[in-house]
């Protein structure tokens, strides 16, 4: 985007491949897959759609998700139609009818119960969330849940955006097309900042400032694979496992990538703590972390050169479409960064984060 506006750009990447977590490989049995978890692209934004189509055609995959509750595969997100088929339907319907008119935003748990009732919360959310985040749901803010989980009248796709799919040759080929002609260094984690007018940093914002105010908390995932395992239903690219002792979900990449093959490659995802041996994948939305990020953002905005971007730099859970939309809006801030006061930089970024 900045190159399109005439700026000279270079990329320094500390991993051995481009794209960070948005990375596609080919399995030993010939299936395209994402080693950091399946990514279903979706957007309702025409500008985002037109931008990504410059670099790849997309397949027609619409993200259909299943969920296994008490050993039975159900459609997700749960709908009132599905609830009527469940053993616990009478209690669930009573609790749904007794919901308050407005959600309780006190914390993750109060919001969930006020929206879904206690029975549904215990069946498909409590254990899943406890595994995913590693803390009791009542310790989490509503930042994550309020934008992602809803109860529908009938079965729907997980996302209802008009444009959905996956790049036909995978995300790495898509990104190679995007950065074609831009100087790139891989396996490099240090650089001479005096060589650049501005540095857009997509790593951890706390690391950028040498953990001046303390460590922000993240969650990571451990991935395990099975080859040619039976899959419950090819209508679903992934299946949530809220009651499993270890895993939160499994992904069938053959389904997501629309590959015609007798082979399959199934990924199981187990949430684990983030440490130096595991990548930071998800910001952990507790009150303490949100306040700490605010300190870091305020501090980095004092710099005339450093600009935090992306999920780690902005401590924000972003879908890919959201990340591109945010980047588009960041271009204007980047171009005028040196002319803005630190306070104006801070408020411009906060406004973007609030709107995404």
CB 219 within 8 A of CB 211: no
Cα(309)–Cα(326) distance, integer angstroms: 9
Q: How far apart are CA 32 and CA 42, in angstroms?
A: 19
Alpha-carbon distance 156 to 152, whole Å?
8
Residue ranges of alpha helices (H) inside 29-182 are 46-52, 80-83, 89-97, 108-120, 126-133, 171-178
pLDDT, one tens digit per residue, over 243-254 is 999 999 999 999
Q: Is the peptide bond before 77 cis (omega within 30 degrees of 0)?
A: yes
Question: What integer pLDDT is reported at residue 356 of this predicted model?
Answer: 66
> What confidence tens digit (pLDDT) does each residue in 16-64 have?
999 988 999 999 999 999 999 999 999 999 999 999 999 999 999 999 8
Of 182, 212, 183, 181, nearest in space to 297 by CA = 212
Q: Where in the chain are the domains?
A: 3-63+160-180+218-273, 78-147, 192-217+284-355
Q: pLDDT for 160-174, tens place per residue?
A: 888 999 999 999 999
Q: Say if CB 321 and CB 306 are below 8 A apart.
A: no
With 0.95 as the threshold, say if the pTM is over it.
no
- Tokens 């130096």 belong to residue: 276
Strands 184-185 and 11-12: parallel
Rounded CA-CA distance 336/345 in Å is 9
95 has a pLDDT exceeding 90: yes
Q: How many other C-beta atoms can be found within 10 angstroms of the C-beta atom of residue 351?
A: 12
CA distance 20 to 285: 22
Q: Does domain 192-217+284-355 have CATH number 3.40.50.720?
A: yes
End-to-end Cα separation, the chain, in angstroms: 19
DSSP string, 150-218: --BSS---S---SEEE-BTT-HHHHHHHHTTTS-EE-S-----GGG-S-EEE-S-HHHHTTTTT-PPPE
Residues 173-194 have pLDDT tens digits of 999 999 999 999 999 988 888 8
CA distance 170 to 314: 26
Helix (H, G, I), strand (E, B) or coil at 334: helix
Give tens-digit pLDDT for 217-229: 999 999 999 999 9
Task: Please tell me the distance from the alpha carbon of residue 80 to that of residue 64, in angstroms, as a whole number.
Answer: 17
- Dihedral over Cα of 134, 137, 139, 141: its sign: positive
Interior/surface letters 339-349, b for 16+ CB within 10 angstroms, e for the rest:
eeeeeebbebb
């Amino acid at each position: 985007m900045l190159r399109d506006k005439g700026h000279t750009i270079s990329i320094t990447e500390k991993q051995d491949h481009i794209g960070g977590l948005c990375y596609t490989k080919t399995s030993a049995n010939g299936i395209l897959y994402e080693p950091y978890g399946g990514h279903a692209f979706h957007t309702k934004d025409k500008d985002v759609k037109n931008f990504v189509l410059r670099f790849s055609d997309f397949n027609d995959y619409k993200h259909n998700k299943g969920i296994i509750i008490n050993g039975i595969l159900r459609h997700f997100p749960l709908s009132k139609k599905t609830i009527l088929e469940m053993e616990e339907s009478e209690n669930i319907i009573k609790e749904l009818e007794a919901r308050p008119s407005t959600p309780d935003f006190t914390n993750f748990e109060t919001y969930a119960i006020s929206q879904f009732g206690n029975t549904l919360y215990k069946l498909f959310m409590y254990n899943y969330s406890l595994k995913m985040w590693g803390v009791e749901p009542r310790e989490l803010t509503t930042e994550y849940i309020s934008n992602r989980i809803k109860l529908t009248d009938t079965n729907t796709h997980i996302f209802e955006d008009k444009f959905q799919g996956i790049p036909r040759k995978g995300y790495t080929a898509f990104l190679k097309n995007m950065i074609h002609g831009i100087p790139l260094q891989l396996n490099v984690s240090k650089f001479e900042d005096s060589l650049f007018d501005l540095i857009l940093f997509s790593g951890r914002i706390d690391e950028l400032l040498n953990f001046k105010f303390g460590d922000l908390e993240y969650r990571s995932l451990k991935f395990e694979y099975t080859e040619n395992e039976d899959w419950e239903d090819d209508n679903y690219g992934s299946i949530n496992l809220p009651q499993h002792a270890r895993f939160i979900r499994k992904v069938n990449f053959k389904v997501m990538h629309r590959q015609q093959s007798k082979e399959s490659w199934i990924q199981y995802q187990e949430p684990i703590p983030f440490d130096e041996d595991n990548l930071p994948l998800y910001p952990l939305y507790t009150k303490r972390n949100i306040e700490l990020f605010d300190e870091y953002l305020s501090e980095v905005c004092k710099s005339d050169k450093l600009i935090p971007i992306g999920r780690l730099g902005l401590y924000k859970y972003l879908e890919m479409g959201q990340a591109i939309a945010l980047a588009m809006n960041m271009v204007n801030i980047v171009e005028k960064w040196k002319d803005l006061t630190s306070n104006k930089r801070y408020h411009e970024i906060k406004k973007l984060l609030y709107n995404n």
